[in-house]
Amino acid sequence: MPSTSTGRRAEYAELTREAIITAARELFAERGYFATSVNQIAERARVAPATVYAVTGGKHGLIATLVERWSVAPIVAERGALITASRDAREVLRLTAEVVRDMRVEYGDIMRTARSVAPHDEAVAESLRTATRRYRSALDAVADHLHAIGALGVDTALAADVLWFHFGFTGYETLVQENGWPYDRAAAWLAAQAEHALGIRLS
């Protein structure tokens, strides 16, 4: 069995890592990725700059960690199970709009940071491509489910594109960040528009 001191060291190391990740996330949102230095992250996390590199791999490691956390958030699988359990197409779209809404509330800052940095940094671009594939795959599964329950008025490939148009990166960004809509209003509107665009057949 590990000694008490070993357990405490591991706990301290994890707390240190979380403090660095939190500091980086806050600073990336406040100042932007490129305007944030490792020294600033270290100062906010109350560690030495060398610790930031040793524990997280510096800024590249930090943005990759943040993108990974967003793209594998447990809420996606949890809500996905509810979606695939439903045979009500309108409920499926409502649940889809709501999980995307909740992901935007929780991780929207990370999405914006990654998308702004990706055109200028290949490592970040690759992390974003991986996250985007996961994101699209989740929406593709919604399209497949709507097809399986006989609710689609369009083919499945087009349905996947329509769902990405409404629930991908830009739908909530435009309505909430640019137009100032509340998230709940945006969710209801996007679900209604997707229903129309998909030619949903209600049972």
**Residue the block writes with tokens 């329509």:** 162
Tens digit of each residue's pLDDT (9 = 90 or more) over 51-76: 999 999 999 999 999 999 999 999 99
Q: What pLDDT, on a 0 to 100 scale, did the predictor assign at position 34?
A: 94
Three-point CA angle 105, 111, 115, nearest 5°: 155
Residues contacting 40, CB < 8 A, separation 6+: 27, 31
Residue 1 pLDDT > 60: no
Q: What pLDDT, on a 0 to 100 scale, did the predictor assign at position 136?
A: 97
What separation, in Å, do the N-terminal and C-terminal C-alpha atoms of the chain show?
A: 58
Residue spans of alpha helices (H) in 32-180: 38-45, 49-56, 58-71, 74-85, 89-117, 122-148, 156-167, 170-172
Query: What are the φ/ψ torsions at residue 23 (nearest 5 degrees)?
Result: -60, -45
Contact assessment for residue 83 and residue 95, using Cβ atoms and an 8 Å cutoff: yes
Buried b (16+ CB within 10 A) or exposed e, 155-168: eeeebbbbbbebbb
Residues contacting 179, CB < 8 A, separation 6+: none
pTM reported for the whole predicted model: 0.89
Contact assessment for residue 66 and residue 25, using Cβ atoms and an 8 Å cutoff: yes
Neighbours of 28 (CB within 10 A): 25
* Res. 2 pLDDT band, cuts 50 70 90: low
Tens digit of each residue's pLDDT (9 = 90 or more) over 87-109: 999 999 999 999 999 999 999 99
Rounded-to-integer distance, Cα 2 and Cα 4, Å: 7
Rounded-to-integer distance, Cα 98 and Cα 36, Å: 32
Contact assessment for residue 167 and residue 139, using Cβ atoms and an 8 Å cutoff: yes
Domains of the chain: 4-56 (1.10.10.60), 69-197 (1.10.357)
Rounded-to-integer distance, Cα 44 and Cα 41, Å: 5
Q: What pLDDT, on a 0 to 100 scale, did the predictor assign at position 96?
A: 97
Distance of CA 177 to the CA centre of its chain: 16
* Tokens linked to 185: 């209003």
* Res. 175 pLDDT band, cuts 50 70 90: very high
